[in-house]
Amino acid sequence: MYKILEKRELNDSVTLMVIDAPLIAKKARAGQFIIFRTDELGERVPLTIADYDREKGTITIIFQKVGRSTMQLGFMEEGDSILDVVGPLGTATEFGEGIKRAAVIGGGVGCAIAYPSAKALFNMGVDVDVIAGFRSRDIVILEDEMKAVSNNLYITTDDGSYGTKGFVTTKLQELIDSGVKYDVVIAIGPVPMMKFVCNVTRPYNIKTIVSLNPIMIDGTGMCGGCRVTVDGKIKYACVDGPDFDGFLVDFDELMRRNTAYKTQEAEERNHICRLTGGVRHA
């Protein structure tokens, strides 16, 4: 059992939790993830380790309440315990050698995954520009945290209600056009966003790392559910990733696979109990 030590609502749909998990905290690195299960009947759901404290023995997860299991997790409170938390899983992010300046780009809740990469690079002495994109001001998350681990923080919103109006790709292109030289770009967020970031960086041959979020089940490479095509070859995000060279990823295939259970997920979220007449969220 893994006790919830802290719970904080970052916006109406995104929640931060700090969990007592000393063995995971001891080995966790940026880019790795855990798989949780709230109870015996719960789904196995992967979440990136947003932060960790080796001394306190804690890990931080940030999640969006969009499906049955994340909604169930969102109902839990400080002092409650999660049945299973397995990790750290996946391969830690490898940034490469000789990096002087990096751009870390997060889209929406993807900023929770981008944050540990920005923090790791910043602590390495790299000049870090963070570009964080959101639909509107009311869903902005981790602004103070990202500001603390970057030399420059640029926030963009689709509707212009905060920061710069537009997309993260527009801001990235502006910075490149202004003469900024990046050794690496890290892009984490919705698949279309990562695809278009790669479209911006490819002409300049800027190394671009993306963190993929395919359907995942066991997290150990056995089920094959998280397979992605990279450089024309099958890879498994849970053991070969989740980070990959963005120029080699088949994003279109990934987008098609990620929508395979969209109808079933919607039905599960809105299931009406025949006994009570209520909507079952857990």
The string of pLDDT tens digits covering residues 215-274 is 888 787 888 888 999 999 999 998 999 999 999 999 999 988 877 556 555 565 555 545
Q: Which residue has the higher pLDDT, 116 or 275?
A: 116
CA distances 157 to 192, 197, 200, 279, Å, are 16, 16, 19, 32
Confidence of residue 214 (pLDDT cuts 50, 70, 90): confident
Distance CA 159, CA 59 (A): 34
pTM equals: 0.86
Sorted by where each begins, the domain ranges of the chain are: 2-89, 101-258
pLDDT at residue 263, rounded to an integer: 58
| Mean predicted confidence (pLDDT) in 115-124 | 95
Mean pLDDT estimate for the chain: 90
CATH number of 2-89: 2.40.30.10
pLDDT at residue 269, rounded to an integer: 53
CATH number of 101-258: 3.40.50.80
Asked if the model's pLDDT at residue 59 lies above 90, the reply is yes
Burial (Cβ within 10 Å: 0-12, 13-18, ≥19) of residue 94: exposed
Proportion of the chain above pLDDT 90, given as a percent: 74
Identify the helix (H) or strand (E) that includes residue 44.
none
